[in-house]
A and B are shown apart, each in its own frame.
Chain A
């Protein structure tokens, strides 16, 4: 199925759990922030999210800035 991940159409397996996607990308959960379908997700909510077709996921992190 296709989701929009950081603005790009991305193919992932059916019913992929959010945590599995994070782990497959090699990301440390404590270093990232997630917005799921325009709603900010609290870290406690990550475990319960299973992605669906056409979901919009933004995965962000802090970078240098002034």
Chain B
């Protein structure tokens, strides 16, 4: 079955994107990436702390991955643009996940600032994937601004609460003709599968894998769930009925 996902002119081999935060040790990240099959991998950009011995995250990410730095820490469009420009200077490509957050309790994205940042960065040639609250009008504005995809949240970042925004995400999937990628909140493989079943183009998972009992095994579980959900979507699910309908013939009984 020909089922390619193309973003920013890049053909993407896996519909599971993964984040690299919160792992118990960075040294397991190569195995997590391998078992997840993920090609798109997110990172953050931070000031170096000269007083501590930090590790360089890039050494744990295989070179054939597409690096998607996020703009976390940005509180408005200008800060997001600044972070994006710095990230691109690393020479790791032009994918950028826009994340503009000024709400510290729920870490909900500021759609308006995100749209402004998207407009600016698209003009500079970035492949922009904005993290948003699932609002149809804002998603349309982002598409018009040239976003390569929209990434609505399933639930607040890091909560593992699942696809709480299901109805709104479904509307985006039906109405927006750029990829809709569910980012944030997905806690279990079944929830990633559900997002894929309703037609999400991909899911981005971090906390659910990083904080699992065995992140490497969980990465594989997510990979399988995403593939299962995608195939179910491509197939189309069977109709839901109010009353029972026997699966076995109702004639030719023994008695």
Do the beta carbons of A62 and B56 come within 8 Å of each other?
yes
Flag A47-64 by CB within 8 Å of B: 1 or 0 each.
Answer: 000000000001111111
Give the size of the chain A interface in residues (CB under 8 angstroms): 25
Number of A-B contacts (CB under 8 A): 98
Q: Which residues of B are at the interface with A, using a C-beta cutoff of 8 A?
A: 19-23, 26, 29, 42-50, 54, 56-59, 67, 69-70, 72, 82, 85-92, 157-158, 184, 204, 206-207
Partner of A60, one of B22, B48, B184: B48
Which of A38, A41, A42, A65 is B20 in contact with, Cβ under 8 Å?
A65
Among residues of B, the one whose C-beta sits closest to the C-beta of A59 is B48
A interface list, Cβ under 8 A from B: 5-7, 25, 27-28, 31-35, 38, 40-43, 58-66
Q: How far is the CA of A41 from the CA of B89 in the complex (A)?
A: 7
- A–B Cβ pairs within 8 angstroms, 28 of them: A6-B49, A7-B47, A25-B48, A27-B48, A38-B82, A42-B89, A43-B89, A43-B91, A60-B46, A60-B47, A61-B46, A62-B56, A62-B58, A62-B69, A63-B21, A63-B46, A63-B57, A64-B20, A65-B20, A65-B21, A65-B69, A65-B70, A65-B72, A66-B21, A66-B22, A66-B44, A66-B157, A66-B204
Give A40 to B158 CA distance when docked, in angstroms. Answer: 31
> CB-nearest residue of chain B relative to A58?
B47
Specify the main secondary structure of chain B where it touches its partner.
mixed
Q: Point out the residues of chain A lying under 8 angstroms from B56, CB to CB.
A: 28, 31, 61-62
Hey, which chain B residues are within 8 Å of A64, CB to CB?
Answer: 19-23, 26, 29, 43-44, 57
